[in-house]
């Protein structure tokens, strides 16, 4: 069971997470489509997509320090503000390598944001409710991701409106968490080193499988929209088929 007062925090965290994921998934698809419209090569579009995951790796290793230093709410607010601003940077400079750096910055921020959300949810959960809460968290991310994809035909990918939608969605994700009256988890994040060699010795199949899954899904997420846009007759048609494909890959 969840203690009294914590359902409000759960709703606030999940609402912010949903908006954040909606902006993130729309941004990933939009950058691939826009890169194709700008004449980027598939290799350059893949590089932009890879930048996000490089940022995620670095953020996963460093995000705990930020949470331990300033707390959950300030970390969430600061990283979301940076991610919202980075989305608009793609409009200012149309260059694949600048986009790669901006996307890496976004990935760093989202890794920290995911850490905040998941540590918060683990703090709320009890042994009896943890599975239910984390399943709701996973489904929230999937549905929000589908919603983000479905926003692609709302405006011209060659314009600026969708980038503004992304920035607005990520910025508004701050509101439910920043205005909640429920205190954040009191315990700070702990620094734990990752020994990849030991991890491989304990589970070689799991380590290799996770690596290969990351390679294939990241390539699919980056170049899939380009293929969908090239084979569909109109952007709205490809936008309706791509969420199903992406959701299937996420599962």
Query: Domain total for the chain?
Result: 1
Q: What's the chain's average pLDDT?
A: 80
Residue 153: band (very low, low, confident or very high) from pLDDT cuts 50, 70, 90: confident
In a domain, 179, yes or no: yes
| Residue 234 in this model has a pLDDT that exceeds 50 | no
In a domain, 29, yes or no: yes
Model pLDDT for residues 20-34, shown as the tens digit of each residue: 999 998 998 889 888
Per-residue pLDDT, 243: 53
In a domain, 148, yes or no: yes
Per-residue pLDDT, 233: 38
In a domain, 153, yes or no: yes
Per-residue pLDDT, 111: 92
What whole-number distance in Å separates Cα of residue 76 and Cα of residue 73? Answer: 5
In a domain, 78, yes or no: yes
In a domain, 1, yes or no: no
Angle at 129 between CA 123 and CA 132, to 5 degrees: 105
What CATH number is associated with residue 141? 1.20.1250.20
Model pLDDT for residues 30-66, shown as the tens digit of each residue: 898 888 888 888 888 888 988 998 999 899 888 888 8
Give me the domain span that covers residue 112.
6-250
Residue 235: band (very low, low, confident or very high) from pLDDT cuts 50, 70, 90: very low
CB 190 within 8 A of CB 68: yes
Residue 251: band (very low, low, confident or very high) from pLDDT cuts 50, 70, 90: low
If DSSP codes are grouped into helix, strand and coil, which group holds residue 22? Answer: helix
Per-residue pLDDT, 84: 92
Which range is most confident: 9-23, 30-44, 100-114, 123-137?
100-114
Round to the nearest angstrom and report the end-to-end CA distance of the chain: 27
Mean pLDDT calculated for residue range 195-199: 78
Lowest mean per-residue pLDDT among 125-129, 131-135, 167-171, 246-250: 246-250
CB 67 within 8 A of CB 115: yes
**What global pTM score does this model have?**
0.80
Q: Phi/psi of residue 11, each to 5°?
A: -65, -40
Mean pLDDT calculated for residue range 198-227: 77
């Amino acid at each position: 069971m969840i203690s009294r007062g914590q359902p409000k925090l759960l709703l606030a965290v999940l609402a912010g997470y949903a908006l954040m994921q909606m902006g993130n998934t729309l941004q990933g698809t939009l950058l691939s489509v826009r890169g194709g419209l700008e004449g980027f090569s598939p290799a350059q579009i893949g590089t932009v997509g890879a930048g996000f995951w490089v940022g995620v790796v670095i953020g996963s290793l460093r995000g705990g320090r930020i949470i331990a230093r300033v707390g959950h709410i300030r970390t969430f607010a600061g990283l979301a503000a940076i991610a919202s601003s980075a989305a608009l940077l793609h409009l200012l400079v149309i260059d694949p390598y600048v986009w790669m750096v901006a996307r890496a910055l976004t990935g760093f921020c989202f890794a920290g944001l995911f850490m905040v959300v998941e540590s918060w949810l683990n703090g709320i959960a009890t042994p009896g409710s943890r599975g239910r809460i984390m399943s709701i968290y996973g489904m929230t991310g999937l549905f929000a991701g589908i919603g983000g994809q479905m926003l692609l035909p709302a405006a011209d990918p060659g314009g600026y409106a969708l980038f503004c939608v992304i920035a607005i969605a990520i910025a508004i994700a701050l509101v439910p968490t920043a205005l909640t009256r429920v205190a954040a988890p009191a315990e700070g994040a702990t620094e734990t080193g990752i020994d990849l060699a030991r991890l491989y010795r304990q589970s070689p199949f799991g380590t290799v499988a996770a690596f290969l899954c990351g390679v294939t899904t990241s390539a699919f997420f980056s170049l899939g929209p380009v293929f969908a846009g090239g084979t569909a007759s109109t952007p709205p048609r490809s936008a309706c088929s791509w969420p199903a494909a992406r959701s299937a890959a996420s599962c």
